[in-house]
Amino acid sequence: MDFGFTLRETTAREFDPGAEPEEILADRGDDRVCLWESSSIHYGIVTRFTRLDPAEAETVRGMLGSSGGDTEELLGGTRYFQTTVTPAADSVDGVDTESGRSDYLRGELWISTRWIGGAPSGYTRDILEHLD
């Protein structure tokens, strides 16, 4: 499905991934954030790549492990993910809206993705296969 996305690299300051600890998400200067934008408010993907120190990695791992989402082992790491559907009756614009998050940890690498619209099938795997 083509949503007409364009890729824009952005700064960590523009990216609010949700509930992560503020001290871990401080703008490090070497984080990379990719924002896939669409002209529709119903579709978009933002991904942040962060190198953590060992203590931060354990903090994030514990936080994600207790978040109540699903997990899967993937290419030497763990992917934590959740999907939420907001029914049209509860939506400000009257449209069913699907959103979600996917966090991947391998060692001290954290790939954090948030999306709205259709879930990007295989997105994290594709990223990992290009990093290796």
CATH at 50: 3.40.1000
- Residue 50: inside a domain, yes or no? yes
- Residue 25: inside a domain, yes or no? yes
pLDDT of residue 97: 83
- Residue 54: inside a domain, yes or no? yes
Question: Taking 50 as the threshold, does the pLDDT of residue 2 lie above it?
Answer: no
State the pTM of this model: 0.76
78-97, pLDDT tens digit by residue? Answer: 999 998 888 888 877 788 88
Tell me the helix, strand and coil percentages in the chain, rounded to 5. Answer: 20, 40, 40
Residue with tokens 């259709």: 118
Residue numbers of the domain that contains 109: 6-131
**Taking every pair of C-alpha atoms in the chain, what is the biggest distance, in angstroms?**
44
- Residue 112: inside a domain, yes or no? yes
Mean pLDDT (the chain) is 78
- Residues 57-73: what's their mean pLDDT? 91
Number of domains in the chain: 1
- Residue 18: inside a domain, yes or no? yes
- Residue 1: inside a domain, yes or no? no
Strands (E), 3-87: 6-10, 32-37, 44-51, 70-74, 77-86
pLDDT of residue 39: 66
- Residue 96: inside a domain, yes or no? yes
- 24 versus 106: which is more confidently predicted? 106
Question: Taking 60 as the threshold, does the pLDDT of residue 19 lie above it?
Answer: no
- Residue 127: inside a domain, yes or no? yes
